Structure 1
Amino acid sequence: MRALAVAEGLKPPSYSSIGRLVRAIPESRIAAGSDPAAYRDNHELVHRREASISNEMWQADHTVLDVLVLDGDGNPVRPWLTVILDDHSRAIASYFISLDAPSVLNTALALRQGIWRKSNPDWIVSGVPEQLYVDNGSDFISEHIEQACISLKIRLIHSLPGRPRGRGKIERLFRTINDMFLPELPGHLIKGKMLSAPTLSLGELRIRFEAFVCGIYHPRPHGSTGEAPIARWQKGGFLPTMPDSLEQLDMLLVHVPKPRKVLRDGIRLAGQRYVEPTLAAFVGEKVEVLYDPRDLTEIHVYHEGKFICRALSPEHLSGASLREIQRARQNAKKRDRGESFSMEEADGNQEDTASRPTSVRGLRLYATDD
């Protein structure tokens, strides 16, 4: 200040005068100059988003659950939960629980479940939302989700990086799940410490979570609205906007179509065979296949963009997932590698070569009595 006064031809101020001026500056203004982020977090006026009707805005987010479940090999792992929440009613539109980290496919499957009618008659939340409010995760900013929202006329809104304004509602839902749902489960974790041995499979966890949503969370009055989420969602005879068909919704959301050729015995996908009498007219033709990786019992077949049929797998009616099939394949390859041996070992064990596999430059040969 003294240097500036001298440069302007003015009398320099005293130290006490400057000190008096500095002490009079509000702390908030000092914070704004030294740490803009801290100033913004403490003093910025926040606009609370509040949807006025059901399905006006949905929020989506992911979290890793504080519970251990058993995977296909019996190993304890922490699952990921994806939730879509209706902003107005606080009702849960859909969820997706997986052992894999969040992905575009998981998000698309959660959105598909939220939009379409559920098989559970107590879970009536459905319809196409006007807006979808998400963060900047790689799955939410993907071209696949963006194009699906455009086709469904959903306005996709991203929160600003580092400034998740309006995300408190879904964060509160996650706290409710941690406080009311997880403590009742075997394998519950508190600060990383396991309170009991995990016994649930991923499928059992999904069943329990849906029972919690429909039986406890939805009928219970919400602390902010004072109304039960399911009652608030359908208040005033609300009727959701639905897509034309489930096939159309699948074409937009489920997965990037897999090109396949219709063979005489059906369609091959993930090592499974899918058949349907309608496919007889398309033998030798190129088609596109859509599937739900959680359940490969059936696939949806499209030809030149038009839906043809749903084809079933006769060998796969148990409803195993793609992950389970991939794991079974990996285990089979490990067993095969454990059984294989080199040509040198084969020369030293000529006494028992019947049906024993031998590896030669990556090829597996089976010696037989013939």
Structure 2
Amino acid sequence: MTAGRGASVLRPGDWITYDGDDHQVVGLAGTSVRLRSDSGAESVVLASHLMSSPDFSVTGTEPLPALEPSGLLATLPEAVQAAAREWERHIVEVDTGLPSGAAPGTPPRPEYDPQDRALLERARAKAAELGVSLRTVMGKRSRYARQGLWGLVDQRLVRMSQVTGQADARLVAAIREALDAETPTSTGTRSRLIRRVVKMVEVTHGEGVVPLPGKSTFYKLIDALSTGRHTFDSAVTRRQTANRPEGPFTPTFADRPGEQVQIDSTPLDVMVVLDSGLSARADLTIAIDVATRTICAAVLRPVGTKAVDASLLLAKMLVPEPMRPGWSAALRMAASRIPHRRLLDVDARMEQAAAKPVIVPDTVVIDGGKVFISDTFIRACDRLGVSVQRSRPRTPTDKAIVEATFSAINTLFVQHLPGYTGANVSRRGERVEEQAVWTIPELQDLLDEWLLAGWQVRPHDALRDPFRPKRAMSPNDKYTSLVAACGYLPLVLRGEDYLELLPVAWRAINDYGIRINYRTYDCAELGPHRRQHSGNVAKRGLWEVHYDPYDLSQVFVRTQQGWITAPWVHLPLVNAPFADFTWQHARRLAAEAGLDSANEAAVARVLDVLLTRAEHGPDTRTAKVAARTRVGAASHRPPAPRAAPEPAPPDHDSEPAEVIPFGVFDAHAEAERWL
């Protein structure tokens, strides 16, 4: 093997060390090398395997020279680079007789002529010329042979200690400790940090023991040690940076629709108008499919998302999105490229569905929010056969896709709405509350339409065609391609399946009906079941009663013959749906008025006043409760498992909007009836 400056060649006849033995290269053919060991055994190995062997080396040659780190050289001060190049001229003159850059035909100086002087004599002459020792010249020459120009640089100037200069190690440790302590606190100035560091050093080592630099040097030292920590910038960014895992980020992959669905809830950056006229922010809960980036469902609620909202999200995921009056025909699934024809054989209702795929999740990823770890949500997932995977505490990267989707919704949709608040108070305009014009039901309808017309057909940067990687695909296109590749046939929910997702209370059916939290529910259908054992021994014969916390005007009782809908006996006094928090607030008002809070008739009268006239009074808290009640009831009112009522006669004085029939459960159907 012949080695020169920057190049090396393996030739027949060279001796190498490989696989714990000495071998001679006897032949080369393409990428194969024929070897003969000391014992005479011959073998053929691939050159790549030979070179990558840990003990491979060529006998009798110097180590291969390393390439110069040009990037590091460019960061050095000009004076340091000039000193290294000057040494390069001297070392080249010792090796060749001529300094680097000498003009052609220049004769070597007598004391450096390789024909008359040996290498050691030339090195001694150079040491005498420069006034250094022979050991220094030979050391420089050896480092130049291995590292090039980088070997001639004064390494004291490139050590890691140059970050802290000549500062005392105890002072550096104190600064690092103080910087760590700044992570959870409010952002301060460098002068505050200097004061804390000085106090820390004096308490630990004594006053005047550790030398302290000047003010400007102290500032430079702090800036060097706080690089990338955002110590003196945004407190939110600083905490997020400190919370990042040390290891590399691992992207989340899914190969088929529904393999992983991430769910989360966050306040939306827009003000909405409640029924009382008050403005407030709304909570947005979404479920996004990782494989296709389809937003399977999105639910808007007044601030304070409950577990039943998460269960409703599951129900919306598992039924087709119905077309609504006023929507463009281009939003129909029949007008899209989604392969829905095969679903018509299973469910003919898909003919009138909107162009958003129905994705049944295998696994849902949630955080530790009370909404998602509640018994209601876990039970709903268990009934639907969905595996629940919790993310690690304070680790948003475990569900990074849904976190990024919230930001995309704010950028692509929310910021164009009146009443947009911005991401934080520093970006908020003046009197944003007065600019709000949309109610939550109206905004929900806008959001649903935007998801179909905007999000589902918009190319997503994370969705790529495997055969054309430069082409971004939309969620609908990605779903179409994955269905063709892996096969996928979602089985949608039936209309009554929504009742299974509601919370359960186990109660007895008495002569007066069913009592839940000081409310009585009764109807004629409960007659044969009064004072009867339900057959459930584990629950001591109690009956399974499902209720909607956002609409307590009725409950649903499971019997062997099916579901029975039992209304509240005092509903005629109220004549409006009400939520659980509304009932609790009415009981508090009744108690404050000196009434019996356990008397449901008295509470019902207070509740009627609350729902019909509270928004006109001065009590802001009461107005908020009333507004949340109307919005929650409009969005949550479930269908009763009985025959649909006869349609009202058309109004011939005005042309009605075209209503598209759709025979599946729609979570907003009752909202359209009550609005």
| Bigger shift: residues 151-160 or 77-86 | 151-160
Which of 371, 377, 385 lines up with 1:139 in the alignment?
371
Specify which structure has the higher proportion of helix: 2
Q: Which residue of 1 aligns with 2:410?
A: 178
Output aligned runs, 1:126-275, within 5 Å: 126-190=358-422, 191=425, 192-193=428-429, 194-195=431-432, 197-225=435-463, 226-235=472-481, 236=483, 239-242=488-491, 245=494, 247-248=496-497, 250-251=499-500, 253-257=501-505, 259=507, 261=509, 275=523
| Bigger shift: residues 205-214 or 136-145 | 136-145
Count of aligned pairs: 314
Kept in 2, the 8 Å contact 1:112–1:250? The answer is no
Q: Please report how far the alpha carbon of residue 88 of structure 1 lies from its aligned counterpart in structure 2 after TM superposition.
A: 0.8
Which structure ranks higher in relative contact order (CA pairs < 8 Å, sequence separation ≥ 6)? 1
Kept in 2, the 8 Å contact 1:114–1:125? The answer is no
| Bigger shift: residues 312-321 or 101-110 | 312-321
Kept in 1, the 8 Å contact 2:282–2:301? The answer is yes
| Bigger shift: residues 97-106 or 145-154 | 145-154
Kept in 2, the 8 Å contact 1:278–1:308? The answer is no
Kept in 1, the 8 Å contact 2:521–2:555? The answer is no
Residue 92 (structure 1) aligned with residue 295 (structure 2): yes
Specify which structure has the higher proportion of strand: 1
Q: Which residue of 2 aligns with 1:74?
A: 277
Unaligned runs of 5+ in 1: 1-16, 340-370
Q: Give SS of 1:257's match.
A: strand
Query: TM-score, with normalisation over the residues of structure 2?
Result: 0.40
Q: CA distance change for structure 1 residues 102 and 272 in 2, over 3 Å: closer, same or farther?
A: same
Distance in 1 between residues matched to 2:285 and 2:547, nearest whole Å? 20
Q: Please report how far the alpha carbon of residue 86 of structure 1 lies from its aligned counterpart in structure 2 after TM superposition.
A: 0.8
Query: TM-score, with normalisation over the residues of structure 1?
Result: 0.67
Which of 239, 259, 269 lines up with 1:56 in the alignment?
259
Residue 308 (structure 1) aligned with residue 556 (structure 2): no
Unaligned runs of 5+ in 2: 1-154, 164-171, 181-239, 324-352, 464-471, 533-541, 596-675
Identity, % of aligned positions: 20
Output aligned runs, 1:340-355, within 5 Å: none
Kept in 1, the 8 Å contact 2:396–2:403? The answer is no
Spell out, residue by residue over 1:208-259, the C-alpha distance to the aligned partner (whole angstroms, 9 max, x if none): 22122122211222232122223323443654443775545632x3213363
| Bigger shift: residues 201-210 or 158-167 | 158-167
Q: CA distance change for structure 1 residues 189 and 20 in 2, over 3 Å: closer, same or farther?
A: closer
Q: Give SS of 1:174's match.
A: helix
Kept in 1, the 8 Å contact 2:552–2:579? The answer is yes
Q: Which residue of 1 aligns with 2:528?
A: 281
Q: CA distance change for structure 1 residues 54 and 288 in 2, over 3 Å: closer, same or farther?
A: same
The one-letter amino acid of 1:102's match is: T
Q: Please report how far the alpha carbon of residue 203 of structure 1 lies from its aligned counterpart in structure 2 after TM superposition.
A: 1.8
Q: Please report how far the alpha carbon of residue 281 of structure 1 lies from its aligned counterpart in structure 2 after TM superposition.
A: 3.1
Distance in 2 between residues matched to 1:74 and 1:326, nearest whole Å? 21
Distance in 2 between residues matched to 1:267 and 1:111, nearest whole Å? 28
The one-letter amino acid of 1:83's match is: I
The one-letter amino acid of 2:445's match is: I
Q: Please report how far the alpha carbon of residue 55 of structure 1 lies from its aligned counterpart in structure 2 after TM superposition.
A: 0.8
| Bigger shift: residues 133-142 or 294-303 | 294-303
Residue 291 (structure 1) aligned with residue 547 (structure 2): yes
Distance in 1 between residues matched to 2:281 and 2:497, nearest whole Å? 34
Kept in 1, the 8 Å contact 2:320–2:354? The answer is no
Distance in 1 between residues matched to 2:363 and 2:499, nearest whole Å? 20
Distance in 2 between residues matched to 1:250 and 1:327, nearest whole Å? 23
Residue 322 (structure 1) aligned with residue 579 (structure 2): yes
The one-letter amino acid of 1:211's match is: E
Kept in 1, the 8 Å contact 2:260–2:361? The answer is yes
Distance in 2 between residues matched to 1:180 and 1:247, nearest whole Å? 35
Q: Which residue of 1 aligns with 2:71?
A: none
Kept in 2, the 8 Å contact 1:268–1:274? The answer is no
